[in-house]
Amino acid sequence: MSAPARLILASASPRRRELLGRLGVPFEVVVAVVTEHEEASTDPRVMVAHNAALKADWVAARYPAAVVLGADTTVFIDGAALNKPRDAAEARSMLRRLSGRTHTVFTGVAARRGSDGLRLDEGVASDVTFKPLDDQGIDAYLARVHTPDKAGGYAIQEHGDLIVAGYRGSFSNIVGLPLETTKQILTRCGLLA
């Protein structure tokens, strides 16, 4: 009987770690040492797919027997990607831009296994509509949520009621890992029945 397949999450994101844990498949975390492409004018689908594959490929090259899962998420509005803000001022600017409007959250998910050349790539999009926000509302949100590591300067799962009017599509995608798609990928990889 062969040893059970190993799953590695190629991400430093605590949100992805928590979400993947919900699927009940044992996994390890190995953070890929890569430079992500974050040019705001790049097609967001291409950018998140590229970054997810970059992370998965880097880890899979070092752990060829494991199934490696890479993911990347961005927020897209007005033809530009809003990646992780550099500081509170940029987070505030992003929230002002999203205020009262609908934007799209794109996530790329890549699975790799070096030993047999397995390569699966999927992309998911969800729409989020923000409430109209004034400076006081933005300040109240930023006082409660640490935003520098979050695309678009917000986290729907942390005090989202203060800023989000509604969403369409996968909630877990907006958080950073679309569980429905990830479950399908892991099933195709033989890690879930």
Q: pLDDT tens, 45-65?
A: 999 999 999 999 999 999 999
> 105: closest CA among 93, 87, 123?
123
pTM (2 decimals)? 0.92
Q: How many CB atoms lie within 10 A of CB 158?
A: 17
Q: What is the pLDDT of residue 149?
A: 84
Confidence of residue 1 (pLDDT cuts 50, 70, 90): very low
pLDDT of residue 56: 98
- ∠ Cα 78 71 163 (to 5°): 45
pLDDT at 8: 97
Cβ atoms within 10 Å of 187's Cβ, excluding its own: 11
Q: Are 79 and 147 in contact (CB under 8 A)?
A: no
Rounded CA separation 154/146 (Å): 8
State the catalytic residues: 72
| 132-178 pLDDT, tens digit each | 999 999 999 999 998 888 999 999 999 999 999 999 999 999 999 99
pLDDT score of 39: 85
Q: At which residue do the structure tokens 């203060």 appear?
A: 162
pLDDT digits (tens, 9 = 90+) for 82-118: 989 999 899 999 999 999 999 999 999 999 999 999 9
Q: Which residues share a beta bridge with 168?
A: 127
Q: Is residue 4 pLDDT above 90, yes or no? A: no
Round to the nearest angstrom and report the end-to-end CA distance of the chain. Answer: 17
Domains of the chain, each with CATH number or no CATH: 7-188 (3.90.950.10)
Extract the runs of DSSP E, i.e. beta strands, from the chain: 7-9, 28-29, 67-77, 80-82, 102-113, 118-130, 164-168
Residue 102 has a pLDDT of 98
- Report the pLDDT value the prediction gives residue 5, as an integer from 0 to 100: 59
pLDDT, position 40: 76
